[in-house]
């Protein structure tokens, strides 16, 4: 029987080689789809879509201060996404970068709080290293449980996010609360010497941006020019081939989690010692989760991640502006992030498949042949 849709059906066909064009084109197409769906969303909410899009794609670029804010938010996203790119390339699914970010912030905050007026400049590298160590230790729990007990790293790392939030809350509501802070759940503001130097006066942009960009360069060299980085990726792409080559899968697991935990912890340290300047319950801003989207939109590539971190940072700022100027809920940021990831996953289909229009096959209707008497 001819199917009624036979002459207009489209079909996905596997490609022989993954398409390079679509590997880069998919994020662009996904962004376009996000813009279209976002406009429809604004219209459905009774707002002017043009003004809505302006909040997201124009306002964050309009002034030096706005650009500075864009970079302030792009910095942690970039750092975390770099580590996650390595993780995902190694087929290790660390979903808990948010928790590693928080513990990194806590450890850095703990070091920063020891500083007084007489403390030297060494406190700055010390608190950054404490942040790295904290993030690594937190991710190390996941690595240990996966290595020893085959616990699923997705669940463990995600659950540890909530534990990390509790640790932070305990400290700021309890032992570390500022005695002169009118009982607000926050520590005292860090000493000047324990604050990250700004890059530009008049903005909040800080040297963390330079560290993150340097990290991107370092990650590129590791992934594409070093033997260790190559071995790491083979384990992610084809575990049997890694075993055949003799690359240790345990090593790959530990490296992936420690590196991504370390970058998330560093981002946390930069955040509390930079723009925030103290520990509060509002340190977790969702950067660790947004960085997952950053990593995928950036094709898990250190250079791509730089661009996608800026894009997701625009979504953050756009969401805040949409809230303050258009009276939209702040969760519009999350909606935009979700739309982008969702359309990207859909568009990624085109990397390994092509869309083809199937021709109609003119054939006579099928008949059930009468059975011959056996």
Partner 1 sequence: MHRLELIRIRKAYPSVVANDDVSLRVAAGEIHAVLGENGAGKSTLMKIIYGATQPDAGTIHWNGQQVAVASPAQARRLGISMVYQHFSLFDTLTAAENVWLGLDRQSTLAEVTARIESVARQYGLDVEPDRPVHTLSVGERQRLEILRALLTDPQLLILDEPTSVLTPQAVERLFEVLRQLSAQGCSILYISHKLHEIRALCSACTVLRGGRVTGECDPRQETDASLSRLMIGAEPPRLAHAERKPGPVRLKVHHLKLPREDSFGTDLDIDALEVRAGEILGVAGVSGNGQAELLRALSGEDLRASAGSIHLMEQNISNMPPGERRDQGLRFIPEDRLGRATVPSMSLVHNLMLTQAPKGPWLPLKTLRERTAQVIGRFAVKASGPGAAARSLSGGNLQKFIVGREISAQPRLLIVSQPTWGVDVGAAARIHAEILALRDAGCAVLLVSEELDELFALSDRLVVMAQGRLSPPLPRGEASVETIGAWMSGLWSLDTTQSSRPNGPSRQPVEALNASA
Closer CB to partner 1, 7 or 282, in the complex = 7
Give the tokens for residue 223: 């992934």
The only residue of 148, 150, 227, 357 in contact with partner 1, by rule CB under 8 A: 227
240 binding partner 1? (CB under 8 A): yes
Closer CB to partner 1, 180 or 367, in the complex = 367
- Determine the straight-line distance between the first and last CA of the chain, rounded to whole angstroms: 28
> Which residues, 184 to 203, sit near partner 1 by CB under 8 A?
none
Distance CA 38, CA 338 (A): 11
Q: Are 357 and 363 in contact (CB under 8 A)?
A: no
The only residue of 238, 303, 345, 355 in contact with partner 1, by rule CB under 8 A: 238
251 binding partner 1? (CB under 8 A): no
The only residue of 117, 150, 225, 357 in contact with partner 1, by rule CB under 8 A: 225
Residue with structure tokens 């520590």? 187
* 3-class SS letters over 74-91: HHHHHHHHHHHHHHHHCC
Closer CB to partner 1, 28 or 237, in the complex = 237
228 binding partner 1? (CB under 8 A): yes
Please name the helix (run of DSSP H) or strand (run of DSSP E) that holds residue 261, with its range, or none: helix 249-271
Distance CA 262, CA 142 (A): 13
180 binding partner 1? (CB under 8 A): no
User: What is residue 16's DSSP assignment?
Assistant: S
Closer CB to partner 1, 8 or 369, in the complex = 369
Distance CA 212, CA 121 (A): 21
9 binding partner 1? (CB under 8 A): no
243 binding partner 1? (CB under 8 A): yes
Residue 59: which of 364, 352, 321, 332 has the closest Cα?
321
4 binding partner 1? (CB under 8 A): no
355 binding partner 1? (CB under 8 A): no
- List contacts with partner 1 (CB under 8 A): 1, 13, 16-18, 224-228, 230, 234, 237-238, 240-241, 243-246, 354, 356, 359, 361, 363-369, 371-372, 374
């Amino acid at each position: 029987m001819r199917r009624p849709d036979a002459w207009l059906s489209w079909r996905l066909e596997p490609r022989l080689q993954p398409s390079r064009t679509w590997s880069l084109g998919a994020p662009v197409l996904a962004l376009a789809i996000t813009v279209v769906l976002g406009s429809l969303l604004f219209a459905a909410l009774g707002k002017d879509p043009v003004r809505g899009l302006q909040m997201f794609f124009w306002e964050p670029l309009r002034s030096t201060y706005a650009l500075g804010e864009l970079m302030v938010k792009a910095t942690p996203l970039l750092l975390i996404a770099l580590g996650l790119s390595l993780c995902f390339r190694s087929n290790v699914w660390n979903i808990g970068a948010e928790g590693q970010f928080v513990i990194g912030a806590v450890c850095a905050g703990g070091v920063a709080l020891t500083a007084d007026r007489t403390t030297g400049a060494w406190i700055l590298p010390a608190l950054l290293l404490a942040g790295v160590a904290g993030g690594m230790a937190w991710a190390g729990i996941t690595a240990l449980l996966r290595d020893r007990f085959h616990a699923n790293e997705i669940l463990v790392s995600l659950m540890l996010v909530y534990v990390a939030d509790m640790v932070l809350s305990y400290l700021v509501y309890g032992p570390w609360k500022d005695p002169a802070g009118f009982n607000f759940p926050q520590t005292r503001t860090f000493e000047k010497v324990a604050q990250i130097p700004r890059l530009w006066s008049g903005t909040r942009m800080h040297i963390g941006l330079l560290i993150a960009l340097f990290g991107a360069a370092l990650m590129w060299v590791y992934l594409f020019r070093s033997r260790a980085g190559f071995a790491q990726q083979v384990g992610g792409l084809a575990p049997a081939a890694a075993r055949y080559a003799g690359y240790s899968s345990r090593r790959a697991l530990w490296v992936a989690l420690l590196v991504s935990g370390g970058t998330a912890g560093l981002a946390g340290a930069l955040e509390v010692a930079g723009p925030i300047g103290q520990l509060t319950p509002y340190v977790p801003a969702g950067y660790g989760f947004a960085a997952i989207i950053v990593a995928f939109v950036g094709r898990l590539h250190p250079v791509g991640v730089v661009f996608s971190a800026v894009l997701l940072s625009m979504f953050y700022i756009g969401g805040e502006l949409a809230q303050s100027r258009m009276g939209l809920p702040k969760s519009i940021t999350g909606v935009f992030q979700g739309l982008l990831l969702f359309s990207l996953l859909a568009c990624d289909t085109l990397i390994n498949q092509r869309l083809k229009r199937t021709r109609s096959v003119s054939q006579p209707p099928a008949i059930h042949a009468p059975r011959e008497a056996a």
